[in-house]
């Protein structure tokens, strides 16, 4: 029997956000990224990419709302960029959540423990 694994749902990491869609923004995920919902992302030269805590994507600027596969070409995406509370255990980040938490808090995204 085949085992199926359910992926992350769009916005699963959100505890609360501003009215309407004020917490979210549209953008472009840079080619070479295949990221799941809840991935901490950074903005570099107008395109989003996975936060790495070093290099071009060294500052966390938001959290990817839904999974996006931009492996071979830039793809549109939605990013939570302000005024939200999120669940720490539902976030994906490449390095140091404490540094990312500080960056996110500066733009009004508060990371809460489950």
| pLDDT, tens digit, 9 for 90 and up, residues 50-92 | 998 788 888 999 999 999 999 999 999 999 999 999 999 999 9
The CATH superfamily of 22-112 is Head decoration protein D (2.40.300.10)
> Dihedrals φ, ψ of 47, to 5°?
-125, 150
Give the span between the Cα atoms of 16 and 81, in whole angstroms: 13
What integer pLDDT is reported at residue 101 of this predicted model? 92
| Confidence tier at 94 by pLDDT (50, 70, 90) | confident
What was the pLDDT predicted at 7?
A: 81
Confidence of residue 96 (pLDDT cuts 50, 70, 90): low
Residue 37 has pLDDT above 90, yes or no: yes
Provide the pLDDT for residue 91: 94
CB atoms within 10 A of CB 56: 13
Beta strands in 6-80 (DSSP E): 14-17, 24-29, 33-35, 40-44, 47-50, 62-64, 68-70, 75-80
pLDDT at residue number 95 = 67
pLDDT tens per residue, range 2-31: 888 888 899 999 999 999 889 999 999 999
Could you read off the pLDDT of 98-110 as tens digits, one per residue? 889 999 999 999 9
Each domain of the chain, given as residue ranges in start order, spans 22-112
């Amino acid at each position: 029997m085949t085992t199926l694994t359910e992926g992350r749902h769009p916005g699963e990491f959100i505890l609360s956000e501003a009215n309407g869609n004020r917490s979210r923004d549209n953008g472009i995920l840079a080619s070479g990224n295949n990221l799941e919902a809840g991935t901490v992302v950074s903005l570099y030269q107008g395109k989003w990419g996975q936060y790495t805590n070093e290099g071009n994507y060294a500052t966390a600027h938001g959290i990817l709302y839904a999974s996006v596969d931009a492996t071979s070409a830039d793809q549109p995406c939605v990013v939570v960029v302000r005024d939200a509370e999120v669940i720490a255990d539902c976030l994906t980040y490449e390095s140091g959540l404490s540094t990312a938490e500080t960056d996110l808090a500066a733009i009004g995204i508060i990371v809460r423990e489950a």
